[in-house]
Amino acid sequence: MNSNFFRQEVDAAVDALLLQQVILYPTDTVWGLGCDAEVPPAVERLYKLKNRPADKTCIVLVADEVMFAKYAAVVPPNLAELMAGQARPTTYIVPGSRHLAANLLAPDGTIGLRVVSTDDFCHKVVRRLGHGLVSTSANISGEPTPAIYTEVSPAIVRGADYVVSWRQDDTNAATPSRVVRVLPNGELEVVRE
């Protein structure tokens, strides 16, 4: 790993996010579009770029359990245990808090949150930003999800305010995260395996 290049890419991504811009970046799963999860106009621009209906929400990447708790109105009491048992990146659907941009919440008031622990780039970006990072696949709504950079539509590349160069040459296809809904009793309901 070229550590200078890595640091420069983290810095550039965070700078763009602080300017309320939309970035195209490699997530801990697939290539995604992101913005600051606390900035409604940035979320709106991201939805417009994807041509995504407003009622089809995005997920938010967080750095740790503390940030998870900031954005979740209800935190599963066994969150640490749940995360320790994950075999792959897992998104938890929970009631969202007032700290999130309102246009990120689903009609039922929920949000998908994922602690980024397996990808150093995403973790450092979220940690440095200090806010949740919106994460949605880098495709026009209804089109295939790009697992690697070369699968990202040119329209998405042109529409992003900043395109991260880190991992653009990866050829290992990734898969989207597992998605589970946290039920009131703390049990999980699998939404996407």
Instruction: For residue 169, give the CATH number of its domain.
Output: 3.90.870.10
Parts of the chain with a pLDDT under 50: none
Count of structural domains within the chain:
1
pLDDT for res 82: 83
User: Per residue in 53-87, pLDDT tens?
Assistant: 888 889 999 999 999 999 999 888 888 888 888 88
For helices 120-129 and 3-18, give the axis angle rounded to 10 degrees: 40
pTM over 0.75: yes
Expressed in angstroms, the distance from the first to the final Cα of the chain is 31
Q: Which contiguous run of DSSP H or E holds residue 155?
A: helix 154-159
| Rounded alpha-carbon distances, angstroms, from residue 60 to 4, 67, 126 | 27, 10, 10
What is the pLDDT at residue 1?
64
The parent domain of residue 13 ranges over 3-192
Q: What is residue 14's predicted lDDT score, i.e. its pLDDT?
A: 98
